[in-house]
């Protein structure tokens, strides 16, 4: 078995290179008026609030409650032995679906993402992390055969890979702990969402200036964000179940992946805590 050494940041480049073959197709697939194609607008819309420089006393109290509740709900989710994630997202020209299963006791995980383009083309990516070996497979379905996994030896902090697996390959903030830091260290506005009468889940929306998020990532050397700060807002919706566990995160506005500003990306992650799981290494050459 041949191993390839890789750092966490380099995996983002691998994701980009895997999509290069579809670049021309993607350009021709996007509609001329910029509207998402039929079937891509099925996500519940995240309607952003506006951010203000001066917060009212009531807003400050709500913001502090959001910080406290999301911090506790995230800790409650990660206190379980495992967590499963169902994810979906959409941007002009393509939609994304996927699933992740993480053994929180070992940090091993397996994930699958499928990007489907308006043209009908698709790219599937599979990742399985067992110990210090990450098994990676990209498949564009061009010849109808199953592609083998490539074993990649992790030479950086493997926790970075686990964190990205729990945040839609990093699109939802890079890690759940980092999102909590956003709430602690970046100014934001928040609103309390109407509680679900059936599940009794409670929800909050938090809106940040995308430029503030970019500056935070840059100043803390968390991602190599470009010098131009994006306009608009970075918006999160958080939902917490009746037991105080984070169960859903929805995304709107501008988000960041491997330093790139994803403008107009919408998505959601649904978390399900669980018990003992076994993550096994796939067959690899």
Task: Name the token pair of 47.
Answer: 């309607």
What is the DSSP annotation of 141-178? -SSSSPPPPEEEEE-S-THHHHHHHTTTTTTTTSSHHH
- Considering the entire predicted model, what is its pTM? 0.81
| The pLDDT value given to residue 34 | 32
**Residue 265 dihedral angles phi and psi, to the nearest 5°:** -85, 130
Long-range contact set of residues 274-277: C-beta below 8 Å, sequence gap at least 24: 274/80, 274/81, 274/82, 274/83, 274/84, 275/80, 275/81, 275/82, 276/81, 276/82, 276/105, 277/81, 277/82, 277/101, 277/103
| The pLDDT value given to residue 65 | 97
Q: For residue 176, which of 166, 185, 161, 187 has the smallest C-alpha distance?
A: 166
Cα–Cα distance, 151 to 113 (Å, whole number): 18
Cα–Cα distance, 120 to 140 (Å, whole number): 11
Task: Name the token pair of 113.
Answer: 């993402």
Cα–Cα distance, 197 to 166 (Å, whole number): 27
| The pLDDT value given to residue 196 | 81
**Domain positions in the chain:** 4-29+49-273
| The pLDDT value given to residue 140 | 80
| The pLDDT value given to residue 113 | 94
| The pLDDT value given to residue 48 | 58
| The pLDDT value given to residue 33 | 32
| The pLDDT value given to residue 227 | 75
For each successive 10 residues of the chain (285 residues), what is the average pLDDT? 45 40 27 32 50 79 97 98 96 90 96 92 94 92 75 88 93 96 96 88 95 94 86 95 96 91 91 95 76
- The CATH number of domain 4-29+49-273 is 3.30.43: no
């Amino acid at each position: 078995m041949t191993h390839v050494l890789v750092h966490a940041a380099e995996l983002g480049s691998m994701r980009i290179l895997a999509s290069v073959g579809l670049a021309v197709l993607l350009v021709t697939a996007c509609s001329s008026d910029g509207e998402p194609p039929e079937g891509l607008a099925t996500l519940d819309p995240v309607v952003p609030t506006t951010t203000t420089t001066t917060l009212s006393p009531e807003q400050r109290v709500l913001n502090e409650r959001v910080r406290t509740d999301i911090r506790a709900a995230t800790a409650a989710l990660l206190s379980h032995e495992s967590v499963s994630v169902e994810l979906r997202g959409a941007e002009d020209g393509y939609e994304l679906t996927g699933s992740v299963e993480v053994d929180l006791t070992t940090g091993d995980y397996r994930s699958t993402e499928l990007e489907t383009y308006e043209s009908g083309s698709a790219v599937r990516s599979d990742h399985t992390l067992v110990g210090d070996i990450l098994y990676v497979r990209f498949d564009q379905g061009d010849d109808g055969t199953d592609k083998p996994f490539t074993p990649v030896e992790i030479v950086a902090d493997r926790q970075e890979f686990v964190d990205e697996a729990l945040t839609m390959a990093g699109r939802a903030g890079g890690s759940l702990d980092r999102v909590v830091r956003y709430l602690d260290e970046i100014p934001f506005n928040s609103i309390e969402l109407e509680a679900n009468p059936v599940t009794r889940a409670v929800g909050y929306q938090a809106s940040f200036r995308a430029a503030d998020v970019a500056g935070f990532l840059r100043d803390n050397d968390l991602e190599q964000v470009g010098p131009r700060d994006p306009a608009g807002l970075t918006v999160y919706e958080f939902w917490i179940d009746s037991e105080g566990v984070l169960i859903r995160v929805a995304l709107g506005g501008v988000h960041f992946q491997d330093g790139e500003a994803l403008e107009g990306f919408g998505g959601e992650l649904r978390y399900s805590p669980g018990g003992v799981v076994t993550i096994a290494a796939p067959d690899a050459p």
